[in-house]
């Protein structure tokens, strides 16, 4: 009889406006797929806002990166090319020419919290990454969020009603504060079995080695 795969609980702390988060997610998923006979991943997405004070209209990306990191236009362009190349290696398309602004993502996190109750959190997370990074759409727009929710199988009317309220606002803020208090100040942060931390958009091989080692520890 083949051995039963070892169950691993993974909390993936991330923001839908973080390019390294989709890179990390794709790499993690590919590593888990390579090890599907050895590990069974129980994946949960946890909220993190890169820009919690972002105004409703968002901000120009170049302006934002210069203000936040001191990045020159040349540095920003080089980073964008590097991110696009990493995405392509993993099968994800960054439509860099379509995305010009950074937005507030709090409502997207409320929607993701709700989606978990319906078993569609991962599908929604991927769809939100695609809407923003591939198609250049605004993840703070309720119209965009409702449409994307419907596309992954959630009820659009229920999504619209949720977004018009403050439902799950307290829960999302509590989760954000919890991870900040655990020392998570950059994303992606991948926490395995509540005790092993992997930071950043690591290559597939790094995730594969880590998952195998942690699974071997039981």
Please state whether beta strands 6-14 and 39-47 pair in parallel, antiparallel, or not at all (unpaired).
Answer: parallel
Give pLDDT tens digits for 105-129: 999 999 999 999 999 999 999 999 9
pLDDT band at residue 1 using 50, 70 and 90 as cut-offs: low
Dist CA 12 CA 192 (whole Å)? 9
Task: Tell me the pLDDT of the chain averaged across its residues.
Answer: 95
Give pLDDT tens digits for 12-69: 999 999 999 999 999 999 999 999 999 999 999 999 999 999 987 899 988 988 888 8
Question: Which H or E run includes 42?
Answer: strand 39-47
* Sign of the C-alpha dihedral computed for residues 87, 92, 96 and 99 taken in this order: negative
Residue 65 has what pLDDT?
A: 84
Residue 2: pLDDT above 80? no
Tell me the CA distances in angstroms from 189 to 24, 37, 142, 173, one per residue in order: 9, 25, 27, 17
Dist CA 68 CA 118 (whole Å)? 36
pTM: 0.95
Dist CA 11 CA 14 (whole Å)? 9
The answer to which of 48-57, 79-88, 195-204 has the lowest mean pLDDT is 48-57
Residue 46 has what pLDDT?
A: 98
Residue 78: pLDDT above 60? yes
The answer to which of 28-42, 95-109, 122-136, 163-177 has the lowest mean pLDDT is 95-109
């Amino acid at each position: 009889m083949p051995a039963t795969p070892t169950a691993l609980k993974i909390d993936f702390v991330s923001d839908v406006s973080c390019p390294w988060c989709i890179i990390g997610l794709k790499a993690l998923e590919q590593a888990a797929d390579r090890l599907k006979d050895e590990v069974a991943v129980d994946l949960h997405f946890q909220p993190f806002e890169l820009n919690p004070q972002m105004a409703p209209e968002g901000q120009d990306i170049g302006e934002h990166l210069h203000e936040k990191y001191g990045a020159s236009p040349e540095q920003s362009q080089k980073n964008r090319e590097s991110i696009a190349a990493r995405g392509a290696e993993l099968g994800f398309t960054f439509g860099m020419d379509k995305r010009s602004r950074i937005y507030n993502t709090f409502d997207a996190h409320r929607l993701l919290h709700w989606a978990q109750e319906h078993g569609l959190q991962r599908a929604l997370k991927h769809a939100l990454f695609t809407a923003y990074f591939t198609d250049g759409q605004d993840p703070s727009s309720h119209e965009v969020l409702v449409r994307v929710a419907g596309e992954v199988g959630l009820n659009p009317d229920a999504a619209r009603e949720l977004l018009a309220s403050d439902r799950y606002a307290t829960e999302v803020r509590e989760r954000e504060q919890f991870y900040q208090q655990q020392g998570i100040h950059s994303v992606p942060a991948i926490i395995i079995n509540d005790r092993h931390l992997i930071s950043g958009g690591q290559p597939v091989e790094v995730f594969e080695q880590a998952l195998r080692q942690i699974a071997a520890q039981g």
